[in-house]
Structure 1
Amino acid sequence: MDNFATSCLYLWLVELCCVACKTGWQVPCALTVGVDGQFTVTIVSNPAGTPVSGSTNTFDYPILSSVTLICMTSSDGFTFTVTNYQWDTTGCFTNDVHNTPTCFPTGQTTQSVTDNNLLAEDSGTITCTVTIGGADYTSGPLTLRISEIAMARVASNGGPSVDLVSSNQITDYSFIFQPFTLDPFNAILRCASGLGPTGRDLNTALGGWYFNGTQVDVPTGSVCADPVFEVRPAPVWRFPGVINLYLCGTFTTTEEGVYSCIMMNSSMMNQTMRVGVYFSGRIAPMIDTPFPVTVTLGVPFTLSCTSRGSPPDTFTWRRSDGQAVPSINVNAVIHTNTSAVFCAEYMDTITTSGIYTYTCTVTNLIGSDSETITVTTAVGPPDNVRATVTSSRSVEVTWDQSPTTDVTGYLISYTTTTSYISISSRSGSMMVTGRSITSVTLTNLEENTPYNITVQTDSSGTLSVNSDVVSVTTWKDVPSSPPQNVMVTSVNPSSLRVSWQPPPEIDHNGVINGYLIQYTRVDTSDMMSESVISGLLHTISGLDPFVDYLVIVTAMTINGTGPFSNPEVQTSGQNRPAVPRSLIVNSVTDTTVTLSWMTPVPPNGIVTQYDLQYRRCAGGSYTTLQPLNNEVTRTVTGLAVNTEYCFIVRAYTVILLGPGPWTDEIRGRTYGPPSNFNAVTLSPRSIEVTWDPPIANVDDINGYIISYDPVEGLLLRAVWQ
């Protein structure tokens, strides 16, 4: 047995010492402890026997008692294994039945040893030695004293036959006990002896029964008839037969004592068997002091009266009104060789409040005793308490009207042990006034929550005990609060990631079997939905780039969806922009072209830069100008006169994403001077000048400027818009 199991057995045996029965009688056991080094070795004896005055480890046992000894080992903080047990007994003696001592339990090597028939030669001082890790540790001594006459076998009333021989072995120190009466009783005593290998007959058989040293061999009329010899076949091959010597008759109180059977065995040696014949002791009754009792009005109750005495007791109950009533269930609970414990009960019912007394009187041939039990009434709880769930947050409680007129109201209490509910909300009560009220509805309970409900009657401020507990669970419902910690983050230009935590457990109101996500562009009212069956994370895809989206989340049970979370607004990621809009030529000169355009729609982000390229439309590669920031107009300079150019523009958001697409080409021509210029003198003071307009859009010309100088001559130029 390992250390854990040994410790458990030790504790069990210690507990056994303190086990009390209904009458207060205790099961005895004895402990003797020896501390040897780091280990404690203990002998546990069960039962303990009778302690010897002045000694802490000596106990008396009656003949033929059964005793179990257990060798226990313990250590504070050490793990160990016992590899050997050794029992030793000193001080044992030899009697006239056995020539050599047996010394229970000398030489045995098991942890526990049992003897079901202790004899006088088993007396002695016992120690137990255990071997742990090659070292021996020994307990303190436990001394057993086995008396020759003690309580043992009990004959039932009426005088049975008692056979004291088992096989061909003489059974010594047996005992016949007539319990709890002084009436004469009949018994047959038998002892036996082997006939031996040469054989003997009745005439040569030597033996007889003796009482108080005098052989019983003639009819006395008061003890019994002559002993009767009988020859029977031997039970084993060694003996040809067995001689049985019987002593039979009727025993009275004057024949109490020790009867000895002396016979010669097959080896021609005398053997003696002793039998004690005793009546119970004569003791006046003694009633155990009773405790006050509180009973429920209208409910039958039982009172118990326990008495110790012998011979049997007569019980009488008397109520406070003086009426004598009979006892019920009179039982002998336990007995010893000198007295008995009797228990009598009385059943009654009280319907009116008050304090009552019941007197129990016990009488036998020796004397009498009386004790009074005080009984106080209390209002009982209502009967037939029922609870019916009416909604996810309400329960109807009903009960039968109390038959007691003292009732002034009822207290309905409810509790739940659900851990996620705050302690302050786990219980509640409701008081209603009026004896005739038999129902109430509890409201504001938690959804999908188990409740234990009791009802007490109230009698002017005095409450009864609780009724039987009624258990119900409120119905499931939709969640009563939204998911917690909702977060929305941008994943890419077309996706948002949504995460959340479940609602508080108290608000689940059932099993959360999914979540519903709704989202929309903030510039529209078109709400879209996506369901999530498992998990607390979801990605919304297929979105437009760089758009503000509103997102809300709700939890679902089998009953539907709960409230939505507060809206979260998040902008989707940026992407390459669309084509810049409305690229136009605003103005031209002979060497410049000014262009303008509008931002892309959709921009797909924040436009941070534009590229502008141009080339001669007649042929040639594009020239890229220095990138523009977020300007939407640009003048291209250094162009050739009277030349048509082609222009394109594209936009950027995040540079790393790359540019958006180019616009379609637009054309613009620089202007040249008027052509075919000619001057004709019309008079000494006037000249007529003619020309052709420049190759350009004539509508763009506001006029011309003609310059003349005597030295330089005439000059002509056009004035553009």
Structure 2
Amino acid sequence: LPRVIVNGSGSVTRVTVASLAESGNYQCIVSNDRVTGGTISGVTAVTSTSSLNISVSDTPTGLTATRLSTGLAHVRLSWSTVSGATGYEVYYQLSSNTPVSVGTTASTTMNITSGLFRGITYTFYVVSYGSASLPSGNASIFLTFSNPVVNDFMATVTTSTTITLTWNPPTAVVPISYNIVRDCRRVCESSTAGASEASISSPHTSTGIPPYSQCTFDLIGVYDITAELTTDYSAETISTTPTAPVDDIIFSSVESVSMTVSWDEVPCNGRNGPITGYYLTYTNITSNTSYTVNITGGDNRMYNLTGLIPYTNYTVSIIPYNYNMNGPARKEIQITAESIPGVISILKYARDPDAITIVWNPPTIPNGIITVYEIRYRESTSTGPYTVTNTTNTYYSI
């Protein structure tokens, strides 16, 4: 056992004994020996001996450090119970700095929720104390407060208006809860619309998204502060049936037997996907005869109709489609231009002594509005010019 001899005045009442880090029971014996006999200041000293039994407890074992979801630099230290220990003291050390005492506890756990910073590596120590408050050897563990990251954030199910997202908790530290910040825009638009969803969990379905929209998602972990776990994850809702018709239908180069039809594209908020073509149907209202043309390609928005009947009303219907999903139709009516009238029918005449009256029916195919009839006549034996006259009636007397 160590032995320390102290020579000095009688006021020396303390001595430091080193090398007691090894656990076990110790006995300290203090004795005084006189150097000279006799009485000093009226007091006769005698030789005496006293002793003190102390113990040093074992070094704690099983030290673990677990990060807490209450903060990005919060930690719980845990260790095994030391037999005979009456308490424990916890320290942390940054690099080569002097260890800092966090406090003492009679428990085998301690939460540290202040004084630490994320992004830094700390060494934590725990020592045990016996009845004489002598510390044991220390147990130590390293911990780096790295930023939490989620690497498996993904979309598992998409519909035309929803995106379902899943993820596993970050390995560094599980947050109290999660928030999601999304930013979405229709593919045909440049402006975006943002939304936030708080206190969610995996899996989570984000709703209310327009069809055929591109979205970016940020996954936020809620601790004592918020932390971005994943940023700018991209997903897209699927296409669905167009819900709006094409914009204005425009007629140009309208002739008696042909016309050109063009139309404006479907408004962005009603496309719900890429417009891949149009069905153009034109119907002769008089005969109720229809013809349909499939125009492929969303940018092909013009068609020339031929073989039409002069001065006839046609209904033109245009239906946009998105991969065989038909949208609503827009219809407009246009009449073709007038043309040369057809031949009159059922020409009759009646003869009087001094006049000839002729009667006829209008042309079966008028090709427009008959505004006047021109009548030419001369004697059958004449080779001279015709007499020309006009009438708005379907009869005339010569």
- TM-score using structure 2 length: 0.57
Q: Secondary structure at the match of 2:390?
A: coil
Aligned: 1:455 with 2:219: yes
1:392 to 160, 164, 171: 160
Q: For this pair of structures, how many residues does the alignment match?
A: 283
Gaps (5+ residues) in structure 1?
1-293, 307-313, 324-349, 362-376, 637-721
Matched, 1:495 2:272: no
- Alpha-carbon displacement from aligned partner over 1:384-413 (angstroms, at most 9, x marks no partner): 433234223321123447998983x54332
Q: Report how far residue 525 of structure 1 moved.
A: 4.0
Secondary structure of 2:252's match? strand
Instruction: Give the Cα–Cα distance (whole angstroms) in 1 for the partners of residues 168 and 243 of structure 2.
Output: 35
Secondary structure class of the residue paired with 1:484: coil
Give the match for residue 485 of structure 1: 248
1:527 to 290, 306, 313: 290
The amino acid that maps onto 1:355 is S
Matches within 5 A, 1:138-177: none
Q: Residue type of the partner of 1:580?
A: I
Partner of residue 429 from structure 1, selected from 161, 177, 196: 196
What one-letter code is carried by the residue in structure 1 that aligns with 2:323? I
Name the structure 1 match of 2:344.
580
- In 1: Cα distance, 2:182 partner to 2:346 partner: 76
Q: Which of 459, 464, 472 is the equivalent residue of 2:226?
A: 464
CA 473–580 in structure 1, closer or farther in 2 if over 3 Å, else same? same
What displacement does 1:485 show?
3.0
Q: Contact between 2:247 and 2:263, CA under 8 Å: does it hold in 1?
A: yes
Match of 1:47 in 2: none
Are 2:236 and 1:473 aligned? yes
**How do 1:76-87 residues align onto structure 2 when only pairs under 5 Å count?**
none
Partner Cα distance (1:298, 1:606) in 2: 95
CA distance in 1, matches of 2:114, 2:72: 10
Tell me the distance in 2 between the aligned counterparts of 1:552 and 1:382: 52
Contact 2:150/2:230 (8 A) holds in 1 = no
Gap change, CA 1:405 and 1:426, over 3 Å in 2: closer
Q: What SS is found at the alignment partner of 2:388?
A: coil
Q: 2:64 — aligned with what?
A: none
- Separation of aligned partners in 2, 1:456 and 1:595: 95
| DSSP-derived class of the 2:230 partner | coil
Q: In the aligned structure 2, how far is the partner of 1:383 from the partner of 1:420?
A: 30
Is 1:630 the equivalent of 2:392?
yes
Letter paired with 2:308:
L
Separation in 2, partners of 1:463, 1:563: 50
The one-letter amino acid of 1:568's match is E
Q: Deviations over 1:142-196 (max 9, x none)?
A: xxxxxxxxxxxxxxxxxxxxxxxxxxxxxxxxxxxxxxxxxxxxxxxxxxxxxxx
1:318 alignment counterpart: 100
Q: 2:228 is paired with a residue of what secondary structure?
A: coil
Answer whether contact 2:158 2:164 (CA < 8 A) is retained.
yes
Secondary structure (helix, strand or coil) at the match of 1:466 reads: strand
Amino acid paired to 1:632:
T
Deviates more, 1:446-455 or 1:537-546: 446-455
Output one character per residue of 1:456-480: Cα deviation in whole Å (capped at 9) or x when no partner: 3557xx7632331332122234444
Instruction: Tell me if the contact between 1:385 and 1:467 (Cα under 8 Å) persists in the aligned partners.
Output: no
The equivalences for 1:236-385 within 5 A come to: 295=72, 314-318=96-100, 320-321=102-103, 354-357=113-116, 384-385=152-153
Greater CA radius of gyration, 1 or 2?
1
Q: Which amino acid aligns with 1:393?
A: T
What is the one-letter code of the residue matched to 2:114? I
Residues 530 and 360 of structure 1, relative CA distance in 2, 3 Å threshold: closer
- Could you tell me which residue of structure 2 aligns to residue 413 of structure 1? 181
Task: Give me the whole-angstrom Cα distance separating, in 2, the residues matched to 1:296 and 1:528.
Answer: 74
Structure 2, unmatched stretches of 5+, are 1-70, 77-91, 124-144
Greater shift after overlay, 625-634 or 603-612? 625-634
Residue 549 of structure 1: aligned partner: 314
Query: After superposition, what is the alpha-carbon deviation per residue over 1:283-315, rounded to whole angstroms, capped at 9, x for unaligned?
Result: xxxxxxxxxxx726689xxx9957xxxxxxx54
The 1:295/1:569 distance shift into structure 2, 3 A limit, reads same
Inter-CA distance 540–465: structure 2 relative to 1 (3 Å threshold): same
Question: How far is the alpha carbon of 1:426 from its aligned partner?
Answer: 2.2
Contact 2:166 2:203 (C-alpha < 8 Å) held by counterparts = yes
Amino acid at match of 1:391: T
SS at match of 1:606: coil
Deviation, structure 1 residue 487: 0.2
Do structure 1's residue 514 and structure 2's residue 277 form an aligned pair?
A: yes
**Residues 495 and 298 of structure 1: CA distance in aligned 2, closer, same or farther (over 3 Å):** farther
Measure the CA separation in 2 of the matches of 1:296 and 1:523.
83
C-alpha root-mean-square deviation of aligned residues, in Å? 4.3
Cα pair 2:282 2:291 within 8 Å, conserved: yes
User: Is this contact kept in 1: 2:187–2:214, CA < 8 A?
Assistant: no
Give, in angstroms, the shift of residue 524 of structure 1: 4.5
C-alpha separation between the residues in 1 aligned to 2:75 and 2:245?
A: 53
Distance 1:296 1:493, change over 3 A: farther
Q: Measured at CA, do residues 419 and 518 of structure 1 come closer, stay the same or move farther in structure 2, by a change above 3 Å?
A: closer
CA deviation map 1:477-499 (0-9, x unaligned):
44443332320134321111111
Change (3 A) 1:492 1:351: farther
Deviation at 1:420, TM superposition (A): 5.0
Cα separation, partners in 2 of 1:401 and 1:543, compared to 1, 3 Å? same
Determine the C-alpha separation between the residues in 2 that align with 1:612 and 1:298. 112
State whether residues 242 and 273 of structure 2, in contact with CA within 8 Å, keep that contact through their aligned partners in structure 1: yes
> How has the CA–CA distance of structure 1 residues 383 and 601 changed in structure 2, closer, same or farther, with 3 Å as cutoff?
same
2 CA distance for matches of 1:538 and 1:616?
Answer: 54
SS at match of 1:412: strand
**Deviations along 1:304-357, whole A, 9 cap, x unmatched?**
957xxxxxxx5444362469xxxxxxxxxxxxxxxxxxxxxxxxxx99794345
